[in-house]
Amino acid sequence: MPFKKPSESAGRLAEMIKKAVDDCEITPSEYNEIMKIANEDKHIDAQEQQLLNQLQSMLANGTVKRVKG
């Protein structure tokens, strides 16, 4: 199976999620921007899905907290 290059949006998505993880918090506008980036090409590839799953897991376990922004 050939290696599939991640979409351009996957890199931007990773940056946004990394910022939320580094801050240990995410604002509604940051969350909305993450979802916008993930959906902009109308396809969530495997890398994007993994990043979104990681973010959801961290929100669920409290590693990243939702804050007002």
User: Residue 45: inside a domain, yes or no?
Assistant: yes
User: Residue 3: inside a domain, yes or no?
Assistant: no
- pTM for the model: 0.83
* Segments forming the whole domain that contains residue 44: 8-66
For the chain, the domain total comes to 1
Q: What CA–CA distances, in Å, run from 28 to 2, 19, 34, 35? A: 37, 14, 10, 11
User: Residue 2: inside a domain, yes or no?
Assistant: no
Amino acid sitting at position 63: T
Task: Kindly report, residue by residue over 33-66, the tens digit of the pLDDT.
Answer: 999 999 988 888 898 999 999 999 999 999 999 9
Task: Kindly report, residue by residue over 15-33, the tens digit of the pLDDT.
Answer: 999 999 999 999 999 999 9
Q: What is the dihedral of CA 6, 12, 13, 17, to 10 degrees?
A: 130
Whether 21 and 63 have beta carbons less than 8 Å apart is answered as yes
